[in-house]
Structure 1
């Protein structure tokens, strides 16, 4: 659990750095979803970090919300 919190905190820092670097963006949605997506990606979904297009034995997740994608 502490590891997930540390990862989510790093993700939030990265979000803020990217929005600041672009001088544009809507960070609220992304910041608010950091815990959820961290747990989903690192604890719940089955995936291969190397990524292959076949997707065999992997979960698929689609996010369709322009302000947090």
Structure 2
């Protein structure tokens, strides 16, 4: 199993755990976009969470809206 697949599997487990723990929620949307967002965050976007600054200089920004 490659790294992105492993990360996506862990994200899915976390989603199910949190929805179950809250006894509420609709996991379908979150589970459905897990592969896409995992690939963006861990492979495509230029981000450095440990060196985050609010101005976003030298980093990619991602906005998700519905």
Say whether the fold is shared (TM-score over 0.5): yes
Which structure has the higher relative contact order (CA within 8 Å, separation 6+)? 1
1:39 matched to 2:56? The reply is: no
Q: CA RMSD in A?
A: 1.2
Structure 2: runs of 5 or more not aligned:
none
- Corresponding position of 1:22: 22
Q: TM-score, normalised by structure 1?
A: 0.87
What number of residue pairs does the alignment pair up?
Answer: 65
> Which runs of at least 4 in structure 1 moved beyond 3 Å after TM superposition?
none
- d(CA) in 1 for partners of 2:24, 2:62: 26
Structure 1: runs of 5 or more not aligned:
none
